[in-house]
A and B are shown apart, each in its own frame.
Chain A
Amino acid sequence: MTKKARPVAAITMLVMFAVVPLLITPAGAQQLSDRAKQVGGKFMCMCNCNQVLTGCNHVGCSTSSSMLKELDQSLSRGDSEDAITQMFVQEFGTKVYAEPPKSGFSLVAWVLPSVYLFVGTGLVVFVISRWRKRPAAPAGAAPGISADLLERSRARASRETQD
């Protein structure tokens, strides 16, 4: 790109993409969900829809209605979030959690993704360092089989296959 063209291209792109945040920027203050919605999002609906309580996809679902009613009543009594959680767990068991609690065995669910990421990153770094140290091997050199055999295999594969 020439020095002259760069600013033009940049400004064009800037104008194009600057529109995106304008599209999503709320016109006024963002509507805050009420407390019931916030707390309700931490539980599953028990009607087997497999959705969170506030997102049950069964129109007219009586289970979610009664759970939300219980939730409303608890909040209006001033119950804490912990107390509400205890109430639902006693009523429905641990399957009412929308996400595993961060304690006990459930902690494993939270830890695992980080473990995958760290172990995976470690592996990638290990592989990269090994590949960097490895001398540029001539094509065909592979332990376990002779270079000649590998070359013959490659020639055979090339001969026998066509797109």
Chain B
Amino acid sequence: MDVFGSFALVLAFVCAVYAFGGGIAAIFTRHPLLIKSTRQAGMATCGLIFLATFSLEYLFFSDNFSNAYVVAHSNRDLSTFYKIAALWSGQEGSLLFWSFLLAVYVLSVLVTYRNKNGELMPYVGVVMAGVQIFFLTLNNFVASPFKALASAGADGLMNYVARADGSGLNPLLQYPEMVIHPPNLYSGYTGFTIPFAFALGALLARYPGEKWIHLTRKWTMIAWMFQSMGILLGAHWAYAVLGWGGYWGWDPVENASFLPWLTGTAFLHSVMMQEKRGMMKVWNVWLVFSTFLLCILGTFLTRSGIVSSVHAFAQSSIGTWFVGFLVLIITVCFGAYLKNRDYLKSENQLDSIVSRESSFLFNNLILLVSCIAILSGTLFPVFSEWITGNRISVGAPFFNKVNIPIGLLLLFLTGVGPLLAWRKTSTESLKRNFGWPLAIGLVAGVIALVFGFREIYSWVCLILCVFVASTVGLEFYRGAKVIRARAGASFLASAVDLTLRNTRRYGGYIVHVGMVFVFIGLAGAAFNRDIQKDMQVGQTMQIGPYTLLLQGFDSKPEKNYTAQRMNVEVLRDKKPLMMLYPEKRHFSTNEQNGTMVAIYSTLKEDLYVVYAGDSPETNLPVLHAYLNPLVKWIWLGGAVVVFGTLVAMLPNRRAVLVLAGAPQPAAQPLAHGLTPSVTLREGHD
């Protein structure tokens, strides 16, 4: 299988080179056979990458310990579930996995558009093949996962050898979410290749700028959704496994995953400016370019060892390849832009500062400022070392101080933006749309103050969350009311109908509600509490309203590790509530230890209990308990964001309803009683 996998990868590389070179020739010659053959070469590349990936998985499943990568990342007792995850647990396998996911996207594009967009697709195919060539170069010549174990024999020749067992998978990765978090995150990273390929292809083909936007909207949303899920699953993994009570530590690799998400989010908003008004064409092209570049930069940060991170792979020369690739992409993007920028000129003027257009500009500004601030903070230790000779760390306190105000500004715009009309918003419309949400937000703020809510950022965040949720709620209410009046259906049915008539708009609102939930969860972090105590059996400790009683210990031998568990009874108001079993795990294969946190989670708070080892002074086991308010809202918000994105990707159900009086002169303020929200035109807003 080693040989088979290697051979498949070499063939995939050859096919990708043909798809790239043949594609360029096809662009110039327009020869139908050449176009067809390069497309088929692209498909063959994907098929061969699939074969290589499956053969590596087969090596894991068959416990083939003659393969160096399998030896380093698996062992016989590792469960089948985690043998899947072992594929991406190391440098070589994760790069192959990257190629695999990219191949899934590329094949989907090639199949979807096999009989469409004949003039554009060769350009897109060339760009996609170019990216595939880079990763296949790494898979074949720099970090091959198909290296066999060998040792020099007495005759001086290399002999293949096989180990009896492998070193096992890193304990931190032996958690269900590690089987789904990296595929999601990688699907996000690789998915942004598709909008990049279309953007660059369209620019090279001198398409004026609207078409590639339509073609790639869903691809961008898919990539964005996976990136969002990947980030949140990673945060949940950090929360549930690492045992430090938090979910986001501003680690460089976490930051690297967040950067393309920010630019991708900016793009998903600013793209509407181009669709509706023919504006921001250059900006959108560069946002897509930047998003892809940040994906590659993130991979570079993870794999080069340039920044220290718990996630980072060992320092290796592979970083040089990524730098080269980054330089190449930037050069190509600049070249294409300088040559064809005249096709990207905006066509419209801005009528008013108080308009949807302005809100999108500020939304993009905030997202980009956050992105650049995080990037410069992440790289600051490197720069400080270059310039002063001293490496100055930039940790979570810095990122929190910088990003919390930015995040609050963004939250404010999340509420304001959708209620502003395109072109110009009248004062009357402003009052009508913002009066109640503002009042509700402020009342919630007063109530919070009365109840002793004193942390300023959390307080502002709460007001804004209520404000944004109110604006979205009013939007649904107004739209559903119109439909209800016409169709006589129930309010809920009318709201569903409203959503399905303009999935993009109302799906977007659902995403905003999900983000509100996430912000509510983040606001709770200001009130986290924790307590740590050396515990004897029968002792109790108190945190918030909970009493934790250590009832005893037990040991739970598992196939791949031994778990020592604390049996902790949780009491509330002196009444038994539940049992929690925080674990300390020992993996004998690689002599590593791990933890398994026990969490009692409610919408109000998480009781988070860690078996934090044994105290060196007293030799007693240490129980570390945290009381983290509102954390569950973050995961709930993530689910709502995904749901909203899926809704936004659905086609509109039926022809749109345009209310009486809707065809207004575009530049004029909207008539009284007719807000933009109830004008159910074919929705691109």
Distance, CA A24 to CA B614, complexed state (A): 33
Q: A17-B444, A96-B393, A120-B369 are in contact. Are A150 and B398 (CB under 8 A)?
A: no
Asked whether, in the complex, the Cβ of A50 is within 8 Å of the Cβ of B369, the reply is no
Distance, CA A102 to CA B381, complexed state (A): 15
Contacts of A14 in B (CB 8 A): 440, 443-444
Asked whether, in the complex, the Cβ of A139 is within 8 Å of the Cβ of B345, the reply is no
Asked whether, in the complex, the Cβ of A145 is within 8 Å of the Cβ of B342, the reply is yes
**By CB atoms of chain A within 10 A, which of B117, B215, B398 has the most?**
B398
Asked whether, in the complex, the Cβ of B473 is within 8 Å of the Cβ of A13, the reply is yes
A9, A17, A57, A98: the one contacting B477 at CB < 8 Å is A9
* Stretch of B6-14, B347-355, B638-646 contacting A (4+ beta carbons < 8 Å): B347-355
Contacts of A144 in B (CB 8 A): 341-342, 345
Tell me, rounded to whole Å, the shortest Cβ–Cβ distance linking A107 to chain B: 11
Instruction: Tell me if B388 counts as interface (CB < 8 A to partner A).
Output: yes
Asked whether, in the complex, the Cβ of B466 is within 8 Å of the Cβ of A24, the reply is no
Contacts of B473 in A (CB 8 A): 13
Asked whether, in the complex, the Cβ of A153 is within 8 Å of the Cβ of B613, the reply is no
Tell me, rounded to whole Å, the shortest Cβ–Cβ distance linking A59 to chain B: 5
Residue ID in chain B nearest A66 by CB atoms: B616
Asked whether, in the complex, the Cβ of B252 is within 8 Å of the Cβ of A136, the reply is no
Asked whether, in the complex, the Cβ of B392 is within 8 Å of the Cβ of A143, the reply is no
Asked whether, in the complex, the Cβ of A24 is within 8 Å of the Cβ of B584, the reply is no
Asked whether, in the complex, the Cβ of A59 is within 8 Å of the Cβ of B584, the reply is yes
Interface string of B397-419 (1 = CB under 8 A from A): 11001100010000000000000
CB interface residues, A 13-56, toward B, < 8 Å: 13-14, 17-18, 20-27, 30-31, 41-42, 44, 48-52, 55-56
Asked whether, in the complex, the Cβ of B310 is within 8 Å of the Cβ of A57, the reply is yes
Instruction: Tell me if A65 counts as interface (CB < 8 A to partner B).
Output: yes
Q: A17-B469, A24-B458, A109-B398 are in contact. Are A135 and B308 (CB under 8 A)?
A: no
A59, A112, A158: the one contacting B612 at CB < 8 Å is A59
Tell me, rounded to whole Å, the shortest Cβ–Cβ distance linking B193 to chain A: 19
Instruction: Tell me if B214 counts as interface (CB < 8 A to partner A).
Output: yes
Instruction: Tell me if A160 counts as interface (CB < 8 A to partner B).
Output: yes
Contacts of A48 in B (CB 8 A): 308, 310
Distance, CA A104 to CA B388, complexed state (A): 10
Asked whether, in the complex, the Cβ of B391 is within 8 Å of the Cβ of A95, the reply is yes
Distance, CA A139 to CA B470, complexed state (A): 38
Asked whether, in the complex, the Cβ of B372 is within 8 Å of the Cβ of A99, the reply is no
Distance, CA A124 to CA B394, complexed state (A): 29
Q: A1-B478, A13-B440, A93-B391 are in contact. Are A55 and B207 (CB under 8 A)?
A: no
Tell me, rounded to whole Å, the shortest Cβ–Cβ distance linking A152 to chain B: 10
Contacts of A139 in B (CB 8 A): 278, 347
Contacts of A100 in B (CB 8 A): 380, 384, 392-394, 398
Asked whether, in the complex, the Cβ of B369 is within 8 Å of the Cβ of A160, the reply is no
Contacts of B527 in A (CB 8 A): 24, 26, 30
Asked whether, in the complex, the Cβ of A106 is within 8 Å of the Cβ of B616, the reply is no
A18, A55, A145: the one contacting B443 at CB < 8 Å is A18
Instruction: Tell me if B387 counts as interface (CB < 8 A to partner A).
Output: yes
A20, A59, A109, A158: the one contacting B380 at CB < 8 Å is A109
Tell me, rounded to whole Å, the shortest Cβ–Cβ distance linking A62 to chain B: 8
Asked whether, in the complex, the Cβ of A55 is within 8 Å of the Cβ of B245, the reply is yes
Asked whether, in the complex, the Cβ of B396 is within 8 Å of the Cβ of A55, the reply is yes
Asked whether, in the complex, the Cβ of B211 is within 8 Å of the Cβ of A157, the reply is yes
Residue ID in chain B nearest A32 by CB atoms: B529
Asked whether, in the complex, the Cβ of B215 is within 8 Å of the Cβ of A161, the reply is yes
Residue ID in chain B nearest A48 by CB atoms: B308
Instruction: Tell me if B465 counts as interface (CB < 8 A to partner A).
Output: yes
Residue ID in chain A nearest B409 by CB atoms: A117
Contacts of A77 in B (CB 8 A): none
Interface string of A132-150 (1 = CB under 8 A from B): 1111110111111100001
Asked whether, in the complex, the Cβ of A51 is within 8 Å of the Cβ of B629, the reply is no
Tell me, rounded to whole Å, the shortest Cβ–Cβ distance linking A92 to chain B: 10
Contacts of B242 in A (CB 8 A): 57
Instruction: Tell me if A127 counts as interface (CB < 8 A to partner B).
Output: yes
Interface string of B488-527 (1 = CB under 8 A from A): 0000000000000000000000000000000010011001
Distance, CA A97 to CA B390, complexed state (A): 12
Asked whether, in the complex, the Cβ of B249 is within 8 Å of the Cβ of A160, the reply is no
Tell me, rounded to whole Å, the shortest Cβ–Cβ distance linking B124 to chain A: 11
Contacts of B361 in A (CB 8 A): 124, 127-128
Asked whether, in the complex, the Cβ of B309 is within 8 Å of the Cβ of A50, the reply is yes
Instruction: Tell me if B251 counts as interface (CB < 8 A to partner A).
Output: yes
Contacts of B210 in A (CB 8 A): 154, 157
Tell me, rounded to whole Å, the shortest Cβ–Cβ distance linking A111 to chain B: 10
Asked whether, in the complex, the Cβ of B470 is within 8 Å of the Cβ of A27, the reply is no
B308, B349, B630: the one contacting A23 at CB < 8 Å is B630
Q: A13-B470, A98-B393, A120-B365 are in contact. Are A22 and B350 (CB under 8 A)?
A: no
Contacts of A94 in B (CB 8 A): 384, 390-393
Tell me, rounded to whole Å, the shortest Cβ–Cβ distance linking A13 to chain B: 5
A9, A99, A145: the one contacting B343 at CB < 8 Å is A145
Tell me, rounded to whole Å, the shortest Cβ–Cβ distance linking B248 to chain A: 11
Distance, CA A144 to CA B342, complexed state (A): 6
Distance, CA A108 to CA B380, complexed state (A): 9
Tell me, rounded to whole Å, the shortest Cβ–Cβ distance linking A42 to chain B: 7
A99, A110, A153: the one contacting B395 at CB < 8 Å is A99
Distance, CA A103 to CA B387, complexed state (A): 15
CB pairs A–B below 8 angstroms (12 shown): A17-B466, A21-B453, A51-B249, A52-B396, A55-B245, A57-B249, A95-B391, A98-B397, A109-B380, A120-B369, A142-B342, A158-B211
The 6 A-B pairs at the shortest CB distance, nearest first, are namely: A60-B613, A21-B448, A144-B342, A142-B345, A131-B350, A57-B244
Residues of A within 8 A of B (CB): 1, 5-6, 9-10, 13-14, 17-18, 20-27, 30-31, 41-42, 44, 48-52, 55-57, 59-60, 65, 93-101, 104-106, 108-110, 112-113, 116-117, 120-121, 123-124, 127-128, 131-137, 139-145, 150, 153-154, 156-158, 160-163
Residues of B within 8 A of A (CB): 116-120, 202, 205-208, 210-212, 214-215, 238, 242-246, 249, 251-252, 278-279, 308-310, 341-343, 345-353, 357-358, 361-362, 365, 368-369, 372-373, 376-377, 380-381, 384, 387-388, 390-398, 401-402, 406, 436, 439-440, 443-444, 447-448, 451-454, 458, 462, 465-466, 469-470, 473-474, 477-478, 481, 520, 523-524, 527, 529, 544-545, 584, 593, 595, 603-604, 610-614, 616, 629-630
